[in-house]
Structure 1
């Protein structure tokens, strides 16, 4: 087992990816099953959205929201699977870096590192607890209707998912497999991203600490220390691409783009509301 799986900075998030078979896996069967269930559910949600487009504006808005969440989950799944080796090398590099700072870093930096570790562990526990409560609420919500209702509403052209035995089959798949998979992909991905941002900020503080310590009277010693700082800086900026979140790898999710999406979504919502009132 790679040592980075026990790195306290990422807590259970990396182990979750390993258990799901997304990284450090030589058996593609689990990945295939996860991807197949996500794809089948996604197709069913798109079909349901198309068939219920003019039924109820509230239901349509809810379906859009659920479809957006599933889209995020599916994209994150694809990113991890396609770049699993990069993820593994990234975790290995962070583990070595974390150990080096812990052993040789400035006492203040080491203290900050421990604070970040404790904070990320609390964040991970809180997110999983909150998601467990939300999953339970979704499960209970599906039983609040008089008729049959799945956790995630899907429809398919050749059969009715609300009829026996299809309903029991899809309900069991969604409860036992789909909902846990959704949470175990969506949450660790977010937690790892946030943790990496905090660790990146710490490395910059560590670099500043090293630069402030260059005060030797020996010019050769100062030069060597300065070269070490340059090498450390190059290590920090080893990726030449700016750190940013992209939507499907197509465009950066900046505040401007987010505002544009909100404006377009509101325009569509107003249009749909106007059509439904007519």
Structure 2
């Protein structure tokens, strides 16, 4: 069962519970419809807003966060079958490595699985922490406020009983939104981490093309297997890129600007409680982006090391046909297995650094203009 695959099981079970993948039931609508309605009222609030700049920036952050949450959920629903097929292939490749029994690779897979599970739990904990900040923020405000700025035409959101109803509604849907947003990132990271393990696996097999007692025919069969496995890895990366590239583009465009705005907000808030909450918002965005770009970069780096592993094999002892096949592997593996943002920018740590640099540059400009 896909939901029992250890490297992604936590996130699959959450997404399955809310009926975004594997099943289709009423829970999907219980979480999605209120979230879409909230996001619409947030856009209306931005259009009609006449609040101070700090409130506007804070509400823009929530608008972007909920917009990304809704888009992720809708994307999962629209591409549910693609995700399920991808996970079925992941399950097959995962247990293929387990069955092969190569101790260094199995140990690496087990360690990566533990890391993926710990990361999923940490992301959920961070999501709970930030969500708690969302709903507690109004308690530290000098005026009556809501966790998320909204505008409902014809309704005075700060008058009773509307205020109590809206506040309760936002408190209830906040953990639902967390379960829509956080597991998507964690499951994609799990996909990337397995791709890294599979790259190590191919490197290991390339370095051991000739073992004691192997004939030239066996060596050639191993080389053919390596070529086929690399082709499977290329398909795996291509399918993964198709599933994440446009979501990554959306976050690339929105989160850079949001980090800039939150840095500016951090510069103008006055109380320690507000500074702590805003800092938590910034930390959440940076952690989400860093995790994605780190493991996408690691996948690319490990795929390039396949060519080195092929060269490190005892190729001098091979016959001419085997040498020619090995050259083919080296040529193919010199092109990295790379995920891209919007099929344009590579998902690497260099791109992540560029996002932070751009956000900080615009922040300094805003700060000078404000002062």
> 1:46 aligned to 39, 43, 48, which one?
43
> 2:219 aligned to 210, 216, 222, which one?
222
SS in 1 for 2:181: helix
1:124 aligned to 2:127? no
Return the offset for 1:148: 3.4
Return the offset for 1:41: 0.8
Q: Which moved more, 1:94-103 or 1:132-141?
A: 132-141
Return the offset for 1:116: 0.6
Return the offset for 1:104: 1.1
Return the offset for 1:269: 4.5
Return the offset for 1:139: 2.4
Counterparts in 2 of 1:109 and 1:76: CA distance versus 1, 3 Å: same
What's the counterpart of residue 110 of structure 2? 114
Unmatched 5+ stretches in structure 1 = none
Counterparts in 2 of 1:36 and 1:26: CA distance versus 1, 3 Å: closer
Return the offset for 1:51: 2.2
Q: Distance in 1 between matches of 2:175 and 2:345?
A: 27
What's the counterpart of residue 200 of structure 2? 205
Q: Which moved more, 1:112-121 or 1:64-73?
A: 64-73
**RMSD (Å), alpha carbons:** 2.8
Q: Which moved more, 1:157-166 or 1:98-107?
A: 157-166
Counterparts in 2 of 1:68 and 1:264: CA distance versus 1, 3 Å: farther
Aligned residues: 269
Counterparts in 2 of 1:260 and 1:132: CA distance versus 1, 3 Å: closer
What's the counterpart of residue 76 of structure 1? 72
Question: Per chain length, whose mean CA-contact separation is higher, i.e. which structure has more relative contact order (CA < 8 Å, sep 6+)?
Answer: 1
SS in 1 for 2:39: helix
What's the counterpart of residue 191 of structure 2? 196
Q: Distance in 2 between matches of 1:157 and 1:269?
A: 32
The residue correspondences of 1:164-203 to structure 2 (distance < 5 A) are 164-176=160-172, 178-203=173-198
1:133 aligned to 2:136? no
What's the counterpart of residue 158 of structure 2? 162
> 2:138 aligned to 128, 136, 142, which one?
142
Unmatched 5+ stretches in structure 2 = 252-340
Return the offset for 1:241: 6.6
> 1:61 aligned to 35, 57, 64, which one?
57
Q: Distance in 2 between matches of 1:148 and 1:199?
A: 48
What TM-score comes out, normalization by structure 1 length?
Answer: 0.85
Return the offset for 1:180: 0.9
| Greater helix content | 2
Counterparts in 2 of 1:242 and 1:184: CA distance versus 1, 3 Å: closer
Q: Distance in 1 between matches of 2:140 and 2:8?
A: 38
What TM-score comes out, normalization by structure 2 length?
Answer: 0.65
What's the counterpart of residue 17 of structure 2? 19
Q: Is the 8 A contact 2:86 2:239 kept in 1?
A: no
Q: Distance in 2 between matches of 1:118 and 1:188?
A: 16
Q: Is the 8 A contact 2:2 2:9 kept in 1?
A: no
Q: Which moved more, 1:254-263 or 1:135-144?
A: 254-263
Q: Is the 8 A contact 1:11 1:124 kept in 2?
A: no
SS in 1 for 2:115: helix
